[in-house]
Amino acid sequence: MNCFFAYRRLFSLGFLVTAAAGWAACSSSETKEAYDKFYGKGRSERAAEAMIADSIRRVERKAAWEAEAAAAATPAPAAEGAVSLTPPAEIAALLEKNTCSVCHKSDERLVGPPWVEVAKKNYSTDEIISLVYEPKPEHWPDYPPMAPLAFVPKEDIVKIGTWINSLQ
Ligand code: HEC
């Protein structure tokens, strides 16, 4: 029994010595040179740089993504209170049928002023009716005169005019 333990102690000691010797050998500068030769000099430094660059990229990407998400999220609440510039189907059909849409758009200048600009003039529906039948080009000095459109039914202009005023 005693002999067995003695042998084991000796064995462990031998193992420790071998390990220590091995460590001493492997951590020598020679080993480092061999490592550098095999993997290329400064490999660990390059790896560290790459890791830093990678995390910077990741942070930047995250920031860009967050900015994008914020930008996408902001117009939603703003749009809620805003008036829709797209005419409802019935009005769109009337604007089409009576040729108004050839010269007018909701928020862009075509031949005539955009509907949103007309809305700012605060005309009553009756005023809009008479202006379609008898335009007053002096109201829009930097536009060509609108031709009188006698063929447009009054009730169409009432509907169109009411919608125009809803754009305010
Ligand atoms: C051929 C092009 C053209 C067509 C078609 C046209 N407009 Fe105009 N419209 C204009 C121009 C140009 C002006 C600005 C100059 C003016 O008032 O004469 C104008 C001005 C207006 C104004 C403002 C009038 C004022 O005095 O402030 C209203 C309202 C209007 N249009 C309604 C209509 C309606 C409704 C229709 C369809 C029934 C229509 N327009 C069709 C060209 C057109």
Burial 109-118 (b: 16+ CB within 10 A, else e): eeebbbbbbb
* Prediction pTM value: 0.63
Give the residue, out of 139, 146, 163, with the most ligand 1 atoms within 8 A of its beta carbon, to mutate for a pocket test. Answer: 146
Q: How far is CA 93 from the centre of its chain?
A: 33
Between CA 108 and CA 166 the distance in angstroms is 17
CATH superfamily of 89-165: Cytochrome c-like domain (1.10.760.10)
pLDDT at res. 117: 97
Question: What pLDDT score was predicted for residue 78?
Answer: 46
Q: What's the pLDDT at 77?
A: 47
Report residues of the chain scoring pLDDT below 50.
Answer: 76-78
Q: Which of 139, 140, 158, 142 is nearest to 98 (CA)?
A: 158
149 lines ligand 1 (CB under 6 A): yes
Q: How far apart are CA 156 and CA 47, in angstroms?
A: 74
Q: Is the CB of 35 under 6 A from ligand 1?
A: no
